[in-house]
C-alpha cells in the first residue's frame, strides 16, 4: 500500500499555498504537483493508495476525485483520501508525518499489505517504484530510503544521508548547515509493514524521520539507501518552483513532459484550443489550452485560460489559469496566481530587486496572489508580494516598490 503525505502547508510558497495544499499547486502548464506521484504509482502498478491531507485540502480533494485519471477509481483498491477527523476519543489534526500515518493505520490494517510505501506529495519526478521494491527485497531491509544527489548549497533544505558501500545507512541529518555527503533523502520510504507498525506504536511518534527512522538507525536496524539518478525537484520554495517551471521551456529540459513512455496523468480541463491573434508573438514557451494571445510571450509558462491583450508582454514568468493581462502591460520574472487581473499599461517586476535580507527568500521574483487586481498603469517592483484579493486602494499612488508586501484581503471584505 502507498501512503502519500499531502497535508503540508508549504509556508515557503507564501500566497500560492495560503488557500491550497502544496500538493495542489499548479505546475508545468496543466498539471498539479501531486500528479507526478500519482502518475508514478499508476505506472508502477499500485493498487492501494491513501492520500493524507490536512492544510486547505478542498482543491486537492476536488482534483483527485475518485482517481480516474490515474486508473485508481476501483471497487477493490484504488485511491482513498484520508483527512483528520474528530471523535470522542480521537485527537483530530495530525501533529506530524508519523502521527498522520498512525491515525490512519486502520486503513493499512484493512488491506494487510506486506510493505508500505510512504511518499511525499510535493515533489516533481518520474520514478518506477518497482525498482525500489526489488532493491528492498533483495537487501532484506527493514526500510529502504530513496536518495538522490543535490548541489552542496541546497543541502540545508533536505535530510542528508550517509551510507556505506553496501548501501547501509549510517546517518540521516535533517537540514544540516554543512555536510560531506551529496545524497539527500527524496521523501520516498519503503517499509516492511510490521516494522512500521511496531515503531508507530512506540510513544506516539510525531515526525517520521526524527521519531521513527532515527531510532531505527540508533537501534542498528537494517536501513538501506536506494540511489536514484533521474530528475527530482522539491518545489517547496518560490525560487525552486519558478526555476522548475521555467526549465520546462529549455531546448533540452531535464524533465521532458512529452515523453510518452511515462506520461504524467492529470484531470484535464475541457478548454478550447489556443488562439493566436494577429499580433501574437511567442518564443520558447508553454501555452496551455484556452489561452488567447494577442501580445508577446517569451520564455514563459502560461496555464489554461490566460488572456494576453495586444501590446502586452510576458517575459520569463509563470502565469497560472485564467489571468487577464491588459493591453500594453509588461510582466517580467513573476509568478502570477489564478484569476489575477493586470490593468492596461501596468508594469510587473519593474526595476531592481530589493537588497533587504527580509526579501531574500523571493530571489528577486514578484509574486501576485489569487484574485488580485493590479490597477492600470501601476508599477509593481521586484521582490514584491501582492496578497490574495488585493485591490486598487492597496497600491499607494499606483505603486508597490521593491520589497513591498501587500497583505491579503478576506473574501468578506468585498461585501461590507
How far apart CA 282 and CA 329 sit, in angstroms, is: 16
Q: For position 268, what pLDDT does the model report? A: 87
Query: Measuring CA to CA, which residue among 147, 133, 106 is closest to residue 192?
Result: 133
| 357 part of a folded domain | yes
| 25 part of a folded domain | yes
Across the chain, mean pLDDT equals 94
More confident position, 73 or 416 = 73
Same domain, 142 and 232: yes
Same domain, 180 and 300: no
| 265 part of a folded domain | no
Task: Report residue 85's pLDDT band, with 50, 70 and 90 as the boundaries.
Answer: confident
Q: What's the structural domain count of the chain? A: 2
Answer whether residue 203 shows pLDDT above 80.
yes
Sign, Cα dihedral of 212, 213, 218, 222: positive
Same domain, 237 and 374: no
Runs of H (alpha helix) within 249-338: none
Same domain, 285 and 240: no
Same domain, 349 and 405: yes
Average pLDDT for 61-86: 91
Same domain, 176 and 83: yes
Average pLDDT for 379-402: 95
Q: Which helix (H) or strand (E) holds 62?
A: helix 58-64
How far apart CA 380 and CA 397 sit, in angstroms, is: 11
Same domain, 111 and 162: yes
| 207 part of a folded domain | yes
Average pLDDT for 202-226: 94
| 255 part of a folded domain | no
Same domain, 226 and 161: yes
Same domain, 285 and 239: no
Report in angstroms the alpha-carbon separations of 133 from 50, 170, 188.
18, 21, 11
Domain boundary among 247, 263, 295: 247
Which CATH number do you get for residue 65? 3.90.550.10
Could you write out the DSSP letters of every residue in 156-210?
A: GGSEEEEE-TT-BEEEEEES-SS-S--EEEEEEEEEEHHHHHHHHTSS----HII
Domain boundary among 247, 264, 297: 247
Residue 235 three-state SS: coil
Same domain, 222 and 297: no
Which CATH number do you get for residue 369? 2.160.10.10
Percent of the chain topping pLDDT 90 = 89
How far apart CA 406 and CA 211 sit, in angstroms, is: 39
Same domain, 26 and 143: yes
57 CB-side CA count, 13 A: 18
Q: For position 6, what pLDDT does the model report? A: 94
Domain assignment of residue 411, given as a range: 275-415
All 3 cell numbers of residue 89? 476519543
Answer whether residue 416 shows pLDDT above 90.
no
pTM of the model: 0.94
Q: For position 298, what pLDDT does the model report? A: 98
Could you write out the DSSP letters of every residue in 77-137?
A: SEEEEE----BTTB--S--SHHHHHHHTHHHHHHH--SEEEEEETTEEE---HHHHHHHHH
| 254 part of a folded domain | no
Task: Report residue 314's pLDDT band, with 50, 70 and 90 as the boundaries.
Answer: very high
Amino acid at each position: 500500500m502507498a501512503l502519500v503525505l499531502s497535508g503540508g502547508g508549504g509556508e515557503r510558497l507564501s500566497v500560492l499555498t495560503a488557500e491550497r495544499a502544496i500538493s495542489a499547486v499548479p505546475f508545468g502548464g496543466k498539471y498539479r504537483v501531486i500528479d507526478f506521484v500519482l502518475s508514478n504509482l499508476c505506472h508502477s502498478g499500485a493498487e492501494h493508495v491513501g492520500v493524507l491531507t490536512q492544510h486547505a485540502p478542498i482543491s486537492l480533494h476536488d482534483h483527485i476525485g475518485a482517481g480516474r485519471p490515474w486508473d485508481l477509481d476501483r471497487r477493490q483498491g484504488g485511491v482513498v483520501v484520508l483527512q483528520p477527523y474528530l471523535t470522542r476519543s480521537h485527537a483530530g489534526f495530525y501533529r506530524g508525518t508519523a502521527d498522520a500515518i498512525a491515525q490512519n493505520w486502520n486503513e493499512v490494517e484493512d488491506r494487510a499489505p506486506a510493505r508500505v510505501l510512504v511518499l511525499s506529495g510535493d515533489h516533481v519526478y518520474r520514478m518506477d517504484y518497482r525498482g525500489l521494491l526489488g532493491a528492498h527485497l533483495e537487501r532484506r531491509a527493514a526500510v529502504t530510503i530513496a536518495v538522490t544527489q543535490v548541489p552542496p548549497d541546497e543541502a540545508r533544505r533536505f535530510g542528508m544521508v550517509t551510507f556505506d558501500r553496501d548501501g547501509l545507512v549510517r546517518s540521516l541529518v535533517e537540514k544540516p548547515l554543512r555536510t560531506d555527503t551529496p545524497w539527500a533523502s527524496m521523501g520516498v520510504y519503503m517499509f516492511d509493514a510490521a516494522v512500521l507498525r511496531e515503531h508507530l506504536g512506540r510513544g506516539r511518534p510525531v515526525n517520521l524521520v526524527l521519531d521513527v527512522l532515527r531510532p531505527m538507525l540508533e537501534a542498528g536496524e537494517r536501513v538501506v539507501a536506494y540511489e536514484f539518478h533521474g530528475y527530482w525537484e522539491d518545489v517547496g520554495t518560490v525560487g525552486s518552483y519558478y526555476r522548475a517551471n521555467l526549465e520546462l521551456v529549455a531546448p533540452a529540459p531535464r524533465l521532458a513532459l512529452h515523453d510518452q513512455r511515462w506520461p504524467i496523468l492529470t484531470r484535464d480541463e475541457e478548454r478550447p484550443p489556443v488562439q493566436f491573434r494577429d499580433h501574437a508573438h511567442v518564443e520558447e514557451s508553454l501555452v496551455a489550452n484556452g489561452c488567447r494571445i494577442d501580445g508577446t510571450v517569451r520564455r514563459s509558462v502560461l496555464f489554461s485560460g490566460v488572456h494576453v491583450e495586444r501590446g502586452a508582454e510576458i517575459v520569463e514568468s509563470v502565469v497560472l489559469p485564467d489571468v487577464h493581462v491588459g493591453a500594453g502591460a509588461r510582466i517580467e520574472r513573476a509568478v502570477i496566481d489564478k484569476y489575477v487581473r493586470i490593468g492596461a499599461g501596468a508594469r510587473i517586476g519593474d526595476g531592481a530587486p530589493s537588497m533587504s535580507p527580509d526579501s531574500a527568500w523571493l530571489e528577486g521574483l514578484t509574486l501576485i496572489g489569487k484574485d488580485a487586481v493590479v490597477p492600470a498603469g501601476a508599477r509593481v517592483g521586484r521582490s514584491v508580494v501582492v496578497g490574495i484579493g488585493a485591490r486598487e486602494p492597496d497600491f499607494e499612488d499606483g505603486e508597490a516598490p521593491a520589497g513591498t508586501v501587500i497583505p491579503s484581503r478576506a473574501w468578506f471584505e468585498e461585501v461590507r
